[in-house]
Structure formats: structure tokens, C-alpha cells
């Protein structure tokens, strides 16, 4: 029916370092234009109906150009994905991350920011003009602003520096806010990795990490 490769449950990454290695390999395939498009066959879809065992949780920006399964060359059942504009954290996003760790026993959380991020741009514009957007857009900007402030205080006012700082702050906030996740990190069961994705090149570069990534 299909020659698409399928990752069996036996080969599933089960440690943070294995999960990180698999994601790096997938991103390299995507960058070089040789994706395998794994786990997208009709057979695999049927097998998954009885349960899921994703190996990485993503908390990324909603930007349409930053789709985790595509960028990391993964398929159905591989990634547990939570997205908000500017990857701003709130109680329900944290609850989803805790679900991935506690219920699905996923060993890795990836925070995925990117260049030319509209949410970061909006927060930088609000900082410079002193004018906040209306409606719930204000909530987004308010949650990115601490990252803008931290970056500006260091004299780093370029958008890419602010984007990296926002990833770093989001990684730190997840650990700080969620006791359940912090305990898993302390026990060596889980790692949080922060990445920024370059839209044109396709590369997801490491910003920071809390916990072991095996390198």
C-alpha cells in the first residue's frame, strides 16, 4: 500500500537525549530537502487508532510557517503539539504540557520560536511607542514584553536577540510555573529544550536547555 517508513513502538525514543537526537536528524532531512515523511501511511493511521505514544512535546508559535511535524520530518502520533501566538504561556497551555509529561510520559518538551515573529514584533512596537493593542492582543503583548525588557536591558535590541530571549524566558517559565514538570526534570526523566527556527534556511537552532540532551 505504501513505501513510507513507519517507526515501530520498539524504536521509539524513550529518553530526552534519544528524542532530541531524532528531532535533530529529522530537521537535517528537512533542511537538505530529503524528508522521509515517516508515519503517514494508511496502515500507520489505523494502528494509531488504539493509542498514541508521541516522543516529544512541542510548545511553539502558531505561525503558519513553523509547523513542527513538517520542520522535524515526523508523522502522525510522533509529536504532541501545543501552539499559541508568540508561544505565550497560560494555565491551559501549561496543563497541556503537564498532560504530555504525566499522562503520555513524553521525555522532551521543545519550545519553538522563530525569526520574523509577529508577536515579538508587536511587543517591540508597543515598547517603543508606549501604545498597547486593544482586545486580547494586549494579553499576547503583555506576555512577550518581559522578554523584550530583558533583551533591551542587555543592549540587545535586534529582533533575533529578542526572539532568542523570549524562547529562553519561556523555557524558564515552564520550569518555574509547573511543579509537576520541574520534578520530572529534577528526576532526570525530562528535558526542556529551547530552539529558534530560521524561516528561510529551515534550521532549528539550540538556544538553551534545562536537563540532559546527551551532548
Among 54, 55, 63, 169, binds Zn ion (CB under 5 A): 63
Residues 98-117 that bind Zn ion (CB under 5 A): 117
Nearer to Zn ion, 185 or 193 (CB): 193
* Shortest separation between residue 150's beta carbon and Zn ion, angstroms: 18
Three cell numbers at 164? 532568542
Among 23, 56, 61, 82, binds Zn ion (CB under 5 A): 61
Stretch that binds Zn ion, among 55-63, 124-132, 160-168, 203-211 (CB under 5 A): 55-63
- In the 8-state DSSP scheme, what is residue 9? G
Q: Which helix (H) or strand (E) holds 96?
A: helix 91-102
Query: Going residue by residue from 153 to 192, which x/- string records binding to Zn ion, judged by CB under 5 A?
Result: ----------------------------------------
Is residue 193 part of the contact set for Zn ion (CB under 5 A)?
Answer: no
* Shortest separation between residue 118's beta carbon and Zn ion, angstroms: 6
Three cell numbers at 105? 510520559
Three cell numbers at 57? 512535546
80 near 54, Cβ under 8 Å? yes
CA distance 209 to 34: 28
52 near 77, Cβ under 8 Å? yes
Residues 114-133 that bind Zn ion (CB under 5 A): 117
Bridge partners (DSSP) of residue 210 are: 192
Bridge partners (DSSP) of residue 205 are: 196
> Which residues of the shown chain bind Zn ion in the complex (CB under 5 A)?
61, 63, 117
Amino acid at each position: 500500500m505504501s513505501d513510507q517508513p513507519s517507526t515501530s513502538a520498539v524504536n521509539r525514543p524513550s529518553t530526552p537525549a534519544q528524542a532530541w537526537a531524532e528531532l535533530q536528524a529529522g530537521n537535517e532531512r528537512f533542511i537538505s530537502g530529503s524528508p522521509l515523511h515517516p508515519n503517514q501511511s494508511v496502515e500507520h493511521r489505523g494502528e494509531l487508532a488504539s493509542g498514541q505514544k508521541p516522543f516529544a512535546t512541542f510548545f511553539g508559535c502558531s505561525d503558519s510557517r513553523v509547523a513542527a511535524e513538517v520542520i522535524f520530518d515526523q508523522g502522525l502520533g510522533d509529536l504532541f503539539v501545543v501552539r499559541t501566538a508568540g508561544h505565550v504561556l497560560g494555565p491551559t497551555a501549561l496543563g497541556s504540557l503537564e498532560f504530555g509529561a504525566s499522562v503520555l510520559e513524553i521525555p522532551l518538551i521543545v519550545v519553538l520560536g522563530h525569526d520574523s515573529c509577529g508577536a515579538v514584533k508587536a511587543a517591540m512596537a508597543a515598547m517603543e511607542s508606549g501604545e498597547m493593542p486593544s482586545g486580547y492582543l494586549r494579553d499576547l503583548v503583555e506576555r512577550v514584553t518581559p522578554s523584550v525588557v530583558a533583551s533591551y536591558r542587555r543592549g540587545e535590541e535586534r529582533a533575533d536577540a529578542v526572539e532568542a530571549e523570549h524562547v529562553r524566558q519561556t523555557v524558564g517559565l515552564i520550569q518555574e510555573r509547573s511543579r509537576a514538570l520541574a520534578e520530572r526534570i529534577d528526576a532526570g526523566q525530562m528535558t526542556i529544550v529551547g530552539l529558534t527556527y530560521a524561516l528561510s534556511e529551515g534550521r532549528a537552532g539550540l538556544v538553551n536547555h534545562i536537563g540532559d540532551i546527551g551532548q
